[in-house]
Amino acid sequence: MPRDVCYNPIMSEARRQCPVCGRMVLPANMTRHHVVPKSRGGNEIEHICKTCHRQVHALFGNKELAGTLHSLPELRAHPEMRKYIAWVRKQNPDRYYRGRPARNRKE
């Protein structure tokens, strides 16, 4: 497993902030995301948490990611992502959630 984590002593336990949901996430739960899909000529990589990563690719195809949602601020502003972010911020950042639960479970 590549360990390309920059340790920042100010951030506790070398957590990194996910630029999508804003949670402080353990390095093991971060993953690399091509902001613009590689197949569309993108080479910009952001580290986002696995939960966000899964959500982004579940919601959007490469066409959208290369088009209207070509930057993280655009992604975050999308109504579906705003709903997701409001939800995921209440979840434990040390767990990897496979998207939002299908059923309306109480947390």
Residues in touch with Zn ion (CB under 5 A): 18, 20-21, 33, 49, 52
Nearer to Zn ion (CB atom), residue 8 or residue 39: 39
Q: How far is the CB of 47 from Zn ion (least distance, A)?
A: 10
Q: How far is the CB of 77 from Zn ion (least distance, A)?
A: 15
- Residue identified by tokens 């002593």 is 9
DSSP for residue 44: -
3-state secondary structure of 31: strand
Nearer to Zn ion (CB atom), residue 21 or residue 72: 21
Tell me which amino acid residue 71 is.
S
Q: How far is the CB of 104 from Zn ion (least distance, A)?
A: 22
**C-beta of residue 25 within 8 angstroms of C-beta of residue 33:** no
Q: How far is the CB of 50 from Zn ion (least distance, A)?
A: 8
How close are the terminal C-alpha atoms of the chain, in Å? 32
Strand partners, 24: 17
Nearer to Zn ion (CB atom), residue 20 or residue 75: 20
Nearer to Zn ion (CB atom), residue 7 or residue 91: 91
